[in-house]
């Protein structure tokens, strides 16, 4: 009998048989943390600089600027655009379905989010709908590579070039993803990554912005530190969004074992893609198309239409069996109360709303073994049988 996990404490939930996330803290990271603590060099210093250098090299850009969170990474990257003619209140196009942080970051940077629906098969912005929302005030498109699945970057860049607008990639969930042999995060003018605990490279809390443009990197360094330039001169409306040495130490440890983390996560993703094939009449799941390499963040499952069970019933059954999962986010403009003031109406973003109402995702991280994933598959199978399906 699976343990009953509903309403349990955080500690009890940590005993999930298939937990959502993990953190790899290496021996090297422990040693660097000890040194930082012993010498009391704990605020931004040489470890942060080294982490930025190694991150940029790994992800194929000239510059990387480490910040406090992925949300800050999104917001600071957008705030750089004030150096390039943007005005407060200008518009930034983002997908309606993403983690709410993407929308919040647009507001935090002083812009207005303009939403475009996604496609349920790809979870990514529907490129065919982008041009219809471009106005003279549009400054940027911020595509999100949700679940590490690359957005259609070549087409997005072509639209951006045509309309002379910037592209900031939200690569929070897409470390190591590739499209036609090119790493995501290297298509746009800048890319923002989250380094939060559940992500492929983590600093526990943290974020980082990459770019090939030295002037943009300089603006980012100023923006993370209150808009400071030179010794004590404030040139921009800045943020306080610095990474500290202890976080960078964890990040350096993760970079050292990055190939191993990525390899184990990709093994898990590919195993599930294969094993979930038999569930195709019931679920739309994340798939790797020709020319794509998914950055394996988590595994998404969306119920197909017309089934005799609901997403909640399915999630509840998995939860009872010790399989931790999360909702497949929400349509920010129509399903997040905090955005109600924008006046959007339910039904405006049907695909995003469908994904939110019928979708969930669960972990495929480096500490999950294939036997645990087989247990997920068996549990799903049991659930479907219970609902009268022959699988």
Question: Where along the sequence are the contacts to ligand PLP (CB under 6 A)?
Answer: 69-71, 74, 98-99, 101-102, 144, 170, 172-173, 194, 196, 207
Question: How far, in Å, CA of 186 to CA of 183, rounded?
Answer: 6
Question: How far, in Å, CA of 149 to CA of 119, rounded?
Answer: 12
Least separation in angstroms between CB 174 and ligand PLP: 8
Q: 127 vs 174, which CB is nearer to ligand PLP?
A: 174
Q: 172 vs 250, which CB is nearer to ligand PLP?
A: 172
DSSP code string of 58-106: HTT-SEEEEES-HHHHHHHHHHGGGGGT--TT-EEEEESEE-HHHHHHH
Question: How far, in Å, CA of 347 to CA of 331, rounded?
Answer: 10
Least separation in angstroms between CB 179 and ligand PLP: 17
| Strand pairing class (283-285; 298-303) | antiparallel
Least separation in angstroms between CB 71 and ligand PLP: 3
Least separation in angstroms between CB 164 and ligand PLP: 25
How many degrees, rounded to 5, is the angle at CA 164 between CA 160 and CA 165? Answer: 60
Q: 157 vs 197, which CB is nearer to ligand PLP?
A: 197
Least separation in angstroms between CB 352 and ligand PLP: 13
Angle at which helix 70-79 crosses helix 100-108, to 10 degrees, equals 40
Least separation in angstroms between CB 188 and ligand PLP: 14
Q: Are residues 375 and 363 in contact, defined by beta-carbon separation less than 8 angstroms?
A: no
How many degrees, rounded to 5, is the angle at CA 181 between CA 175 and CA 184? Answer: 30
Question: How far, in Å, CA of 307 to CA of 360, rounded?
Answer: 16
Residue 103 CB coordination number (10 Å): 24
Q: 37 vs 204, which CB is nearer to ligand PLP?
A: 204
Least separation in angstroms between CB 98 and ligand PLP: 5
Q: 207 vs 253, which CB is nearer to ligand PLP?
A: 207
Exposure of 205 by Cβ count < 10 A (0-12 exposed, 13-18 middle, 19+ buried)? middle
Residue found by looking up tokens 């929308």 in the block: 103
Question: How far, in Å, CA of 38 to CA of 42, rounded?
Answer: 9
Q: 69 vs 331, which CB is nearer to ligand PLP?
A: 69
Least separation in angstroms between CB 69 and ligand PLP: 3
Q: 67 vs 255, which CB is nearer to ligand PLP?
A: 67
Q: 196 vs 354, which CB is nearer to ligand PLP?
A: 196
């Amino acid at each position: 009998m699976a343990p009953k996990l509903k309403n349990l404490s955080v500690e009890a939930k940590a005993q999930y048989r298939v937990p959502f996330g993990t953190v790899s803290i290496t021996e090297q990271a422990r040693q660097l943390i000890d040194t930082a603590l012993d010498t009391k060099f704990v605020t931004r210093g040489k470890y942060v600089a080294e982490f930025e250098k190694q991150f940029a090299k790994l992800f194929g850009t000239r510059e990387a600027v480490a910040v406090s969170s992925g949300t800050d990474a999104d917001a600071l990257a957008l705030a750089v655009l004030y150096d390039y003619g943007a005005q407060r209140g200008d518009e930034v196009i983002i997908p309606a379905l993403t983690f709410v942080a993407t929308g919040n970051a647009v507001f935090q940077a002083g812009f207005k989010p303009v939403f475009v629906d996604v496609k349920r098969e790809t979870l990514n912005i529907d490129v065919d709908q982008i041009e219809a929302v471009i106005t003279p005030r549009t400054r940027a498109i911020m595509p999100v590579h949700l679940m590490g699945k690359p957005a259609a970057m070549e087409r997005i860049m072509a639209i951006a070039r045509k309309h002379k607008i910037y592209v900031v990639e939200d690569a929070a969930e897409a470390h190591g993803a590739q499209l036609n042999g090119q790493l995501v995060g290297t298509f746009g003018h800048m890319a923002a990554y989250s380094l939060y605990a559940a992500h492929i490279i983590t600093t526990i809390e943290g974020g980082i912005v990459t770019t090939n443009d030295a002037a943009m990197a300089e603006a980012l360094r100023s923006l993370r530190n209150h808009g400071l330039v030179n010794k004590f001169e404030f040139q921009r409306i800045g943020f306080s969004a610095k990474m500290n040495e202890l976080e960078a130490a964890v990040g350096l440890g993760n970079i050292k074992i990055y190939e191993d983390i990525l390899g184990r996560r990709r093994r898990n993703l590919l195993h599930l893609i294969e094993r979930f094939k038999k569930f195709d009449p019931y679920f739309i799941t994340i798939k790797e198309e020709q020319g794509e390499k998914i950055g394996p963040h988590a595994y998404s499952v969306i119920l197909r239409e017309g089934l005799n069970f609901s997403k909640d019933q399915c999630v509840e059954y998995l939860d009872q069996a010790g399989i931790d999962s999360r909702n497949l986010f929400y349509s920010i403009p129509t399903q997040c109360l905090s955005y109600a003031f924008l006046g959007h109406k339910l039904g405006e973003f049907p695909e995003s709303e469908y994904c939110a109402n019928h979708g969930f995702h669960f972990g495929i991280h480096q500490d999950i073994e294939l036997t645990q994933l087989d247990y997920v598959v068996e549990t799903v199978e049991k659930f479907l049988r219970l609902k009268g399906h022959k699988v």
